[in-house]
Every structure is written in structure tokens, then in C-alpha cells.
Amino acid sequence: MFAFAREAPVGEIEQFALRLGRHFVQDFEPITRARVHIESAQWERIEVDGAPHPHSFRQVGTELRTATVVCDAPGEWVVSGLENLIVLKTSGSAFAGYIEDKYTTLEPTEERILSTAVTARWRHAGTDRDWGASFDAARTVMLERFAAIHSLSLQQTLYEMAKGAIEQDQGIVELRLSMPNRHHFVVDLEPFGMENPNEIFRVEDRPYGLIEAQILAESAPPAGPAWDPYPLL
């Protein structure tokens, strides 16, 4: 892997995955299909005495950029994405009007903290792309939609995020999102003789909710083996 990478700059992870997939399919006769999955984390240099150290780094946050490529004789398929992009908005979010039964415990609300960890995958129509610009644009529009739209539910927010990414880039033909609820509940400080005017919260994953969606562009070509096999979504 490292010897292969030294032959040319790695560049965007989608392009590097294509180079690897093509290498195995084109150069080894017994291999008819190659699937390459890459995860990329953000790193920054550790500062020592106010200056960045030449060979010491720390990982920034938990977000990963991902790319999965399938290469075989009939064609090539590229799926870009990201994992564990944790987002939160302190206002502009509600959850009410849902169907309730005797087992329902979640209280309806017109104002709440909305938080989730975004996993997103989007399939490209072809391989002639500016991968960096495409990734940045998709990520930006999803974050903007999350922040700007008054959320009536996480389901609605998820749909608008996916739709926005497809609408702004004709090269993206399918997007799949997976977003769990990260509930924030006000901590009761009355037992300690203190008030908590919506300042201190605890994060819970119960009641558990995992919201997922698959959005297809009208012009989407067949997916072929792009998603299969795939561990998520």
C-alpha cells in the first residue's frame, strides 16, 4: 500500500480508491472485481513551545470522510460519504403530532434540542468528477439545511438535507442518510436546592430512534454493485 502510494500523490480518496481498484482488475487476470473502501480522518500538528511539531499529530474530532469504489469489467461505481458528523441545534426544532398508543413515553414538544450523528453516503453518476469540490459542496449544503430549516421532526430534517445535496449537484444520483436521535433532557437540580433554567442537559439514546432514508434522483442510473456488499445503509 505505501509503495503504491509513493508512485503518485494520493490526492482525493475517491481518486486513490479508483487507482487501487483499477490496478487489481486490470493487472491481475484472475481478479474480475475489486471493492476498495477508504476512511480519512482530519489531523493537525501538535504544538510544542508555540510551534507545530514536525512529526507529531492529533486527530481532530470524530468525523470521518469515506469513499467506496467498485471496479469490474463492465464499469466503475463510486460512493462518497462521511461518518459521525455530530451536529446540534438549540432551538428551531419540534416533535409533536405523531401517533401515540399506550406504550408511548416520549412527550410531544414544540421546542427542543435537536442533535444527531450523521452518516451519509452518496453515489455518483460517473468517475469524471472534482471529488474534493463535490464532497465539500454536499457536506456544506447538508449542514446548512440542518441549521436553517425549522425542524418538525428529525425525519423531515434528514429528507431536506438529502434533497438539498442532490439538487445542488447533478453528479450525485443517490444519497442515503442514517441519523440516530441524541436526546437532550434537562437535568433536575431541585434535589440539590438549585434551579436549572434550561442550561444543563444530559444526553440519552433512549427512547432510541434511528432515522434512515434513501433519496434517488430522477435521472439515477442503475446502482449495479455500488452498494453491495455494504456494512451500513
Convert the pLDDT of each residue in 184-230 to its tens digit: 888 888 888 888 888 888 888 777 789 999 999 998 999 999 998 76
**pTM listed for this prediction:** 0.86
- Residue 231 forms part of a structural domain: no
pLDDT surpasses 80 at 6: no
pLDDT surpasses 50 at 63: yes
- Residue 146 forms part of a structural domain: yes
- Residue 60 forms part of a structural domain: yes
Within 8 A by CB and 6+ apart from 35, the residues are: 21, 68, 69, 70, 225, 229
Say what the pLDDT of residue 2 is.
45
pLDDT in tens, 113-142: 899 999 999 999 999 999 999 999 999 999
pLDDT surpasses 50 at 4: no
- Residue 120 forms part of a structural domain: yes
| Separation CA 118–CA 121 (nearest Å) | 10
26-30, long-range: CB < 8 A, 24+ apart: none
Q: Give the CA count within 13 Å in the CB-facing half-sphere of 179.
A: 26
- Residue 15 forms part of a structural domain: yes
- Residue 53 forms part of a structural domain: yes
Concatenated DSSP letters of 194-231: ---SS--EEEE--S--EEEEEEE-TTPPP-TTTTSS-S
Could you give the number of structural domains in the chain? 1
Task: Determine the structural domain holding residue 32 and report its residue range.
Answer: 2-100+107-216
Q: Report yes or no: 50 and 29 within 8 Å, Cβ to Cβ.
A: no
Q: Return the CATH number at 212.
A: 3.10.270.10
- Residue 12 forms part of a structural domain: yes
Chain centre to alpha carbon of residue 124? 15
- Residue 91 forms part of a structural domain: yes
| Separation CA 120–CA 212 (nearest Å) | 10
